[in-house]
Structure 1
Amino acid sequence: MKNPPLLSAVVLAALAAGCGEERSDGPLVDEAPVATSTGALACSTRITYGDRWIHPGHPEQFDIASGLVTWDGSCVNEGTNSYAVLSNGWKPYFTGSNACVMALDTSDCSGATACSTRVTYGPAWLHPAGHPAQYDDVGGRVWWDRGCTNASPNSYTVLSNDWSPYFSGSNACGISLRYTGCGGLYQNPVVPVDCADPGVIHDGTQYVAACTSGGAANAFPLRTSKDLVTWTAAGNIFPSARRPTWATGDYWAPEIHKVGSRYIAYFTARHQDGKLSIGAATATSALGPFTDLGHPLVHDAGMGMIDATFFYDTAGVPYLVWKADGNAVGQPTPIHGQTLSADGLSLTGTRRTLMSNTLGWEGGVVEAPWVVARGGYYYLFYSGNSYANSTYAVGVARATSPLGPYTKLGNPILKTGGGWVGPGHNSVVKGPGGDTVMVYHAWNSSHTARVMLVDAITWPNGWPAVPEAPSSGSRPMP
């Protein structure tokens, strides 16, 4: 492992003329941008503070300051806390050493830059040769979970971009993070109430999420978001009066996909014969109203069929992938795939088994598939082991053909950690910033609800990774 390479610094633009006067006092109240005499908004900076910010009497996690406000990324340790000094004289304090994390986003200011991260290292950092600066500037988003590994006589940490800065002494890792032009910060969970098995897509104007509802009268709650972080309730796939006539309950694992010119909700429900089955319902909008097909799309009198997902291959052929519920009857749990008709409402071709539970960490279950085509491969994300406890985790396999054969990576890419238990049943979408993002559930600390979390995916060495996740601290917006 080694320190990050020397990169050229991102030079911040000088204070724009006419942007307004700087304040010399600390952040006390939010200031809304004001219109000038010409009707244009005055330059302002939104300063979003990390979760360790000390802010008694200030419920918001941000301030809006007039003018272009900058920060050099330095974090000053002062006893048990640390602080930063902004260009306007404000001095935000944070709990802990080297704990400064902030995002600065400008509005109507000249010199705005693309999303970038300044990584500023603490005083114990061991500089690489020829690297006199105490920081590195990186295009895009880089984050850190504050972990530190001792490697006597020094210590090191690993950042989300796989950099491994070393520090002199044990437990000496210290880093502050400044995000510029990345849209602010967020913190998990993004939906703090029960929202298990989130199926998420972007419908062209917004993200739409559907979640398991079990036996609730109104099946599959819907939510919408512009940024994957702030979500608004948007009804249900099936209000009580529109529930499928063939189903008796157990409304699980919904996903909405655009198939041709309309949307199809694929879902699991219990058939009148007692078997879990996969249904389909159509709508002209991702928010419905949805009309059920009138019968299951996938039904087997001998075994339940659950957790359907849909994808197009690179040639535009539609596929359905789902899990046989073998673990419910003491059998293995294969994940199947099969081509669909162009309208997405009937199976065609030959059913193939894509994988089953073969690895130790998977226990008796593989389920919750989601398929992504990227760089000549089809990546099949899946969850393994028991959804009810800390063994639940997310794995991945890949193939050069949509129906395999699939090769598993091996160890899970997302597992219990960061205060979250049993993360799994994920969707994969492109975030507003262009990065690949995983949306998934995990148990809250009281183990009373599976809440919805969001973390970024990276792609080192041709495989997906979800570094420093599940996250509990502040992260740059996806």
Structure 2
Amino acid sequence: MKQTPILSNQQQFELSSDQSLPCTFNIALYEVGGKQSECLFKVSGQDTQGAKKTVLYTLADREHHSYLDLFAKLSRDFGLRVPQNRIKTIPISPSFETAYNEILTENIHPDILYGYGDPAVIRVDRNTQTIYYLLATSNDAPHSFPLLRSSDLKDWQFVDFIFPEGKKPHWAADGESASDYWAAEMHQIGDEFRIYYVARENENAELCIGMVSSVSPEGPFVSCKEPVLKGNIIDPHIFVQSAEMVYLYWKEDNNDVWPGKLIELLNDRPHLTSILFEHEEDRRTASFVQTLWPWIETLPPMERFQAMQVLIEVIISNFASFYTRLSEQMKTEDERSQKQITEVLKYMKTPMYAQQLSADGQHLVGQPTKILENDLPWEAHLVEGMWVTEHNDTFYLFYAGNDFSTDQYGIGVAVSKSPLGPFTKMHEPFLKSTADWWAPGHPSVVMDTEGKYHMFLHAYFPGKAGYKEFRALLSVPMIFEEDKVRVG
């Protein structure tokens, strides 16, 4: 902590709980040096023994691990829930064992800052040669979307960045904590190579899907003037059934919306906090986050998630039960509260859609088809990061579910006879966390020159899951058997 006395800093927020909450707090919050810098929190309240206390905390920076450390200390002093990544947890299934192939476990270029999240691998056969290409998420790094190549799916070399520093699309936000360049995929469609990706729009910070194209898989790439699709959506996936029949898949990023809607509901109807949260530590957590909300809602999107994550973990620890309690509560509330609850319940579902693309790949044709949403217990509040593979006239949709920043995250699979579904899910995850690797997610599937299938995915080192933390590139061999798939 800086040695400057707290009262010499400009006070930004003075926050007090509604007195009808099960736990009440007074929070004086100081931003030292303005936004994106150190924060000081002076928190007053009662501990679990009923003793009044005041504690001063420092949020040294706005990184994910700093928020987790802050809430771990609040748990110690005021009985809030401990963040999952600050507990020495056992992975989601201790008996689950998979020999993940460790492909890239460190950054191979100094400007690749966060590893290989959302890895999209494709095979390109040109001039009697087979080359594999990999694109990865870059978050808010100055250089966006590292492109790598390999001849054997094991050894990878850096090629370039799709958007080097200063070369971002004109419509997309740029800068630390302002931009999120996620989930880029390259696919060959006829003689053209197209990359679809996620970025935030300049004007409103809303997540959109953009596209660039080239006659070569190594560029140079030409960017579309405007996003292909807007509306707070992420994780574009392209399935090329033929040069004339290409589908765009995407997911509504509703999990970015419902926590804020829920807090607004709880602040309007404080009595719901005691009804919806069954355990004392969860009520304390909800009460604290509700009190802090006027400050949280001023934060950039991903930092807002970091400040709310502990409350999100409370809810997704038994998501189906909370969803049911909230649904049942509508019967006893007034019309205004019913509308608010209906909106929260809507955003607690994260549907995936698919729709045909136009010949130039810049527009959608016809109407979207909803193909999947979170409805299994292990998925909790979201499904995302999909990839479709066709084998023997069967379409396999691989996807991720649960919270990306905990060891509860995993990969599921659904099967259909059509690229537009209906898809039938396996009830349990296809891949889960192990003792060595946490939060396997956002898969892609490629077939090698011997006809064998490989799934590529990202994962964190144990205890290191979180936004802008390093994600390694892993793979597993795959075998398709009579409408089923297993690790080879």
- Structure 2: which amino acid aligns with 1:203? V
Alignment match, 1:264: 194
The answer (yes or no) to whether the contact 2:415–2:483 under 8 Å persists in 1 is: no
Q: 2:365 aligns with which of 342, 348, 359?
A: 348
Change (3 A) 1:441 1:235: same
Q: 1:453 aligns with which of 446, 456, 474?
A: 474
The answer (yes or no) to whether the contact 2:189–2:243 under 8 Å persists in 1 is: no
2-structure distance, mates of 1:187, 1:334: 31
Shift of 1:190: 3.1
Name structure 1 gaps, 5 residues minimum.
1-148, 150-157, 161-185, 468-478
The answer (yes or no) to whether the contact 1:306–1:322 under 8 Å persists in 2 is: yes
Shift of 1:189: 3.5
Change (3 A) 1:274 1:288: same
3-state DSSP class of the match of 1:413? Answer: coil
3-state DSSP class of the match of 2:367? Answer: coil
2:208 paired with 1:277? yes
Equivalent runs, 1:147-186 vs 2, <5 Å? none
2:388 paired with 1:388? no
Shift of 1:266: 0.3
2:196 paired with 1:246? no
Alignment match, 1:70: none
- Structure 2: which amino acid aligns with 1:317? M
Alignment match, 2:150: 225
- Structure 2: which amino acid aligns with 1:308? P
Alignment match, 1:442: 459
The answer (yes or no) to whether the contact 1:228–1:454 under 8 Å persists in 2 is: no
Alignment match, 1:329: 257
For the aligned residue pairs, the C-alpha RMSD in angstroms reads: 2.3
Alignment match, 2:436: 419
Change (3 A) 1:413 1:340: same
2:350 paired with 1:429? no
Shift of 1:397: 0.7
Deviations 1:34-58 (CA, angstroms, capped at 9, x unpaired): xxxxxxxxxxxxxxxxxxxxxxxxx
Equivalent runs, 1:9-408 vs 2, <5 Å? 187-193=101-107, 194-204=115-125, 205-248=130-173, 249-272=179-202, 273-300=204-231, 304-313=232-241, 317-330=245-258, 331=347, 332-408=349-425
Change (3 A) 1:379 1:314: farther
Name structure 2 gaps, 5 residues minimum.
1-94, 108-114, 174-178, 259-346
1-structure distance, mates of 2:196, 2:407: 28
3-state DSSP class of the match of 1:327? Answer: helix
TM-score by length of 1: 0.57
2-structure distance, mates of 1:463, 1:314: 24
Change (3 A) 1:436 1:316: farther
The answer (yes or no) to whether the contact 1:252–1:267 under 8 Å persists in 2 is: yes
The answer (yes or no) to whether the contact 1:314–1:373 under 8 Å persists in 2 is: no
Change (3 A) 1:402 1:159: closer
Shift of 1:159: 11
The answer (yes or no) to whether the contact 2:414–2:425 under 8 Å persists in 1 is: yes
Shift of 1:446: 5.7
Alignment match, 1:60: none
- Structure 2: which amino acid aligns with 1:195? Y
